[in-house]
Structure 1
């Protein structure tokens, strides 16, 4: 049904109010349509608002969406309570930037409810500019699509009142004023500040444009453009989700409305797809991978690498793979070993295999200008073109110099790159690869017919042809990344306690935006900081032992402090406790592998926040140092330099592994003792797999 002007709508609403009856608005063809069903969305109107009502159905709670008309705002209501609301009038719900200034929609001037879609027109704070929006409700979500007419904006934005939805989660790795993501990953997001201005599909950050809340709502922004995301920036109490908007592209988003945050997560995974397989095999879940980066950085050579492998082997520090990271090439992009540093790479590979490890190499699609392959690739059109001048190759500066990037959208370039990889792997018996750097850069132009976001798919397809050795790859944002089943490794962390804590909350963030096979950054951290202390290294290993995978580098035997160049030797207790963490993880491996199979069936994360399993427990929503590993294991490792910690146990019966006794939940255990050899873990009695995992953790 259509109302041609605001005046006629107001008159109709006033008449209905006088009769004390709501107005039920139905499409014009309703007389010949099927009778109403209990789950049919309907629209009612008043002098102040239009209200869409979606009744509850099987597995869905039902909700209302109230659209105020005097000042356009969107309020989502479930069971009579607000669970999500847009920003107040001063900021505006639907925002856009034109001529260098921010504007927003104001009064609704027209609307139309037909075929299950509510179409709105609204005036704006910019004279002559209007906003047209479409709201399409369904059982557990509604679509919001809108765009600006009468002006050419360069950015479109959606803004929410932060507190209207409780606590906020999602996003992935965050940029924050306090060092995120290396040392700060707020959990929940509103407990800190997020200021992420280059949030986009080509980013090296593991991110998705998806956020969910403790009120069991969620927001997904469907865009291939770069976003500027701000959550409580400068403590302004807002969530601002702005996108670059070239041309007339509309703003497309979906708002999920469910009964629990886990249900919202499942809705999002249903949209993007769950992993079709696990890229990592059983052994990669059961044992750590050892990577040379934090141990040596770029000061690595054949002798050092073999000494590293020998020390690990001799001290019983098992692992499935030894990876040689950055700085083995003669020049970046050559794919040939530096002859001085690696006089006999084939012999080095043989020795690593003899010690029981697989052998892996770090690789990149970025070819430095001083590489002997750069000119060849440029002359054959194998490199991405420059965005400003497509007649020349794009040149990008990174941490190892200036480079061009192989264009994966070019079939010839892709075949050339893969052929060189195969030659390298065959020559030196390389078992797998660690792909690093990005597959695209915004300074470059995508191949004709492709978008920047397509390079995430192209990168995922390339990487999926190789064994990634349990360190995975950093692709995100689209269906291909979700469905590939890659292990996700974090951005580099520091070597202090704050980075250890950030590694935990970052895993929770990544795993709950649809990437369930997570590992922290290398145990002990890196980022060019002083070598980790004994306590940080041991606690990090203990924490990682209770996660899906262990990604290791700093040897508990000895390492090099990159800031001084001096050797750091750890004591025998460090080796013993690190070895015990590896052993605990190995004992958990059958249970973890069962969770991998469950994830392939459901998409549910393996490592997840307490409130996914205990949504009725209010304390669970703000706990940042505990997690569930599948349905049966609660991990509460010590993440600080202290001898005790508080442990929150959700309702139920629990088995305390350290004390070997059953305890009641629904309470917080104060000052639980955590000497360096104790990493608290609890088994949820009666949960699936609980008895097996209890025996495994008891060592019986």
Structure 2
């Protein structure tokens, strides 16, 4: 323990004051470590944390004579600093913020700070607790009941920013836009939280190897460079104490590993080897809701006969008699048992799309409401919560009620047993912020409950969209992206979105359905082919639009693709199948380390500064660099970091670092390179040479 020092500014001595923290065992500290020190000099209060055990050391400073701001430095350089109104809060519908420091004390390894605010009669109390590779920043407002608390950062102080997950942007994100890095675009996300349909986590990391984790179960309002302001604002919709962890590391990958140390790595992969090896075919983008028994069977048969099928045919939305009934529409599916049998005869598994959302006009709705099986309304808990979605108005099965869960699963069992259904694609969400958690539960509990439900079924490589918290990270689900458009911008967004999802702790990623699935005009031949080529270098391939032809949902007209489309799509599938042994090695490695399979180049090559803005290349494990063409151009530049690389398409060796200018990419060419000195290089070469 150390002695307490507490001063009221205005009576500070001119001499500098330094306080040393006796070393503790936190984060591996040893008895000989000097530990953090605190000093005050020249109007600045500074916490210094020395280099130790692979951590680079850092300092955090703040002014004592003007508005509070926090500046983090490493090796003498600023690596993160707060922006204007660093600690801000909303009270009485008006935004206020912390002002000048009024007191501080250093005790038991925590620096406690007090400040005035712009709201008379209130103050901010903050606690900064440093350890070797991070510091905890907790703060709250006293004297008023705050409605929201927020941190503000100057984005440019840390270089580029990453993380977050699927982004809402004015340019169409997350459907047609996903900025990478985040500050290259404008992120405006007012519904950022555990109940969001978008895959998000309150974790961000930076080019300067700092990171931010906000520990909350409440919704947030997050903006990064909104309106081009250069600021990151991370606001929690609660007046409860704000809990943030700021990481300070040597590389971005180290920051990622620190975060995984908090939320945990996957304990399993919910997908099998075959599901990594072969595509999953889902009916959605091919038919949308205009699907029936004969159409699905014709679709499956044609894919099989053309040699472009996979492991499963999954029937998506619009098979039920009504949403939530969990019974087939007899008009569209006169003999669903026969449908299942014929799909199995093709060598495919059969799967169904399901949801816990029960429409008000469904037969099951009144039964569920009468038995208290539905989530209750947040504003009026005496009645069921109703939510609007793309298929109407619904209630949501309350998984925190064991009887409701048992009833729902009994309906699923009857359905699956009757029609020999092999697996399920769970869609929508397990909770909505219009609803109230059951007594004794929180929003994040519903992510856990949904994960536990889904984990008892074969998800067939379609995975599930759960996020936010240890349960989601440790469950090991395949993560499918939110629906994408069908143009080049969506293809590019699908790549940068996988980079974002992978590096917030979800390693088993796949793009949205190859070719897109959000109801836009059918993808052009080139987009469909390039998407398949890109997906062949991802952990899993998730397919829908048939290369044999589809229907343009916007016109109702048939769209036929040519033989080259089929041949190139087939080649992409074959390449992915050959990569399966290498991919499976990456899955097993991830289960040990938690490292992402798909990752930005700078995770493996942090000294390669050019790679920090590359959004159309990625490392697939340690040995494979994928650089497919994601545009209509006939060529693209390819960045190769330091090392010896084998050019798969040209059969040559290239020394890096180098940028290959205008690398020719005719439609049959998908640029890819193998790092010859990386683990797994031999297996990757065997796969990509095609022998």
Which TM-score band (shorter chain)? Answer: over 0.9
2:409 corresponds to: 418
Contact 1:214–1:621 (8 Å) recurs in 2: yes
1:82 paired residue number: 78
1:438 is matched with which residue?
429
Q: Which residue of 2 aligns with 1:19?
A: none
Contact 2:23 2:31 in 1 (8 A): no
Q: 2:343 aligns with which of 333, 339, 352?
A: 352
After superposition, the C-alpha distances for 1:126-150 in whole angstroms (9 at most, x for unaligned) are: 1111000011111111000000011
C-alpha distance in 2 between matches for 1:594 and 1:539: 26
Q: Deviations over 1:372-422 (max 9, x none)?
A: 111100000000011111111111111001110000000000010111111
How many angstroms apart in 2 are the aligned matches of 1:244 and 1:113? Answer: 30
Among residues 405, 419, 422, which one is paired with 1:428 in the alignment? 419
Secondary structure at the counterpart of residue 443 of structure 2: coil
CA root-mean-square deviation: 1.4
**Residue 174 of structure 1: which of 154, 163, 167 is its match?**
167
1:478 lines up with 2:469 in the alignment = yes
User: Is 2:44 aligned against 1:49?
Assistant: yes
State the distance in 2 between where 1:397 and 1:451 align. Answer: 22
Q: Which moved more, 1:102-111 or 1:548-557?
A: 102-111
Find the counterpart in structure 1 of residue 226 from structure 2: 233
Q: How many residue pairs get matched?
A: 684
Q: Distance in 2 between matches of 1:383 and 1:104?
A: 41
- CA pair 438-26 structure 1, distance change in 2 beyond 3 A: closer
CA contact (8 A) 2:88 2:95 kept: yes
Q: Deviations over 1:405-450 (max 9, x none)?
A: 0000000000101111111111111110000000001111110011
The correspondence of residues 301-450 of structure 1 with structure 2, limited to 5 A, is: 301-450=292-441
Give the one of 555, 561, 574 matched to 2:546.
Answer: 555
Deviations 1:459-516 (A, max 9, x none): 0111011111101000000101000000000000000000000000000000000000
Q: Which stretches in structure 2 are left out of the alignment for 5+ residues?
A: none
Structure 2 distance, partners of 1:196, 1:477, is: 15
2:281 counterpart residue number: 290
Q: How far 1:37 moved relative to its partner? A: 3.1
Would the aligned equivalents of 2:303 and 2:546 in 1 still touch at CA under 8 Å? yes
Return the match for 2:262 from 268, 271, 274: 271
Q: CA deviation at 1:38?
A: 2.4
Residues 54-105 of structure 1: CA deviation (Å, up to 9, x unaligned)? 1111121111111222221111111111110001xxx311110112221111
Cα distance in 2 for partners of 1:302, 1:36 equals: 71
> Secondary structure, in 3 states, of the residue corresponding to 1:541?
helix
Partners in 1 of 2:15 and 2:78 — Cα distance? Answer: 28
Q: Is 1:538 aligned to 2:540, yes or no? A: no
SS in 2 for 1:108: strand
SS at match of 1:295: helix
Distance 2:604 2:466 in 1: 28
Shifted more, 274-283 versus 55-64: the winner is 55-64
1:23 equivalenced with 2:18 (yes/no): yes
What is aligned with 1:118?
111
| C-alpha contact 2:101 2:115 (8 A) present in aligned 1 | yes
Residue equivalent to 1:584: 575
Q: Is the 8 A contact 2:323 2:357 kept in 1?
A: yes
Instruction: State the match for 1:698 in structure 2.
Output: 689
Q: Structure 1 stretches of 5 or more lacking a match?
A: 17-21
For residues 683 and 194 of structure 2, the distance between their equivalents in structure 1, rounded to whole angstroms, comes to 41
Equivalent-residue separation in structure 2 for 1:103 and 1:458 (angstroms)? 38
Contact kept, 8 Å, 1:10 with 1:47, in 2: the verdict is: no
SS at match of 2:120: coil
- Give secondary structure in 1 for the equivalent of 2:171: coil
Contact (CA 8 Å) 1:25, 1:113: kept in 2 or not?
Answer: no
Q: Does 1:468 align with 2:488?
A: no
1:91-170 equivalences under 5 Å are 91-170=84-163
Partner of residue 59, structure 2: 64
In the alignment, the residues of structure 2 paired with residue 48 and residue 65 of structure 1 have an alpha-carbon distance, to the nearest angstrom, of 14
Partner of 1:201: 194
CA distance in 2, matches of 1:468, 1:164: 43
Q: Is the 8 A contact 2:537 2:626 kept in 1?
A: yes
Classify the secondary structure of the residue corresponding to 2:153: strand
For normalisation by structure 1, the TM-score amounts to 0.96
Tell me the secondary structure at the aligned position of residue 12 of structure 2: helix
Maintained 8 Å contact 2:6/2:106: no
CA distance in structure 2 between the aligned counterparts of 1:264 and 1:126, rounded to whole angstroms: 36
Query: 2 CA distance for matches of 1:661 and 1:293?
Result: 41
For 1:103 and 1:408, locate their aligned partners in 2 and report how far apart those are by CA, in whole Å: 39
Q: CA deviation at 1:9?
A: 6.0
Q: Does the aligned pair in 1 maintain the 2:125–2:142 contact within 8 Å?
A: yes
Aligned equivalents of 1:635 and 1:9: distance in 2? 61
- Sort the Cα spacing of 1:26 and 1:552 in 2 relative to 1 into closer, same or farther, 3 A: closer
Give the aligned partner of residue 654 of structure 1: 645
CA displacement at 1:39 relative to structure 2: 4.4
C-alpha displacement at 1:692, in angstroms? 1.7
User: Any idea what the Cα deviations from partners look like across 1:138-167, whole Å, max 9, x if unmatched?
Assistant: 111100000001112111000001100000
Supply the distance in 1 between the matched residues of 2:124 and 2:486 (Cα, whole angstroms): 49
Distance change in 2, residues 1:167/1:7 (3 Å): closer
The answer (yes or no) to whether the contact 1:27–1:113 under 8 Å persists in 2 is no
- Could you say which residue in structure 2 is the equivalent of 1:593? 584
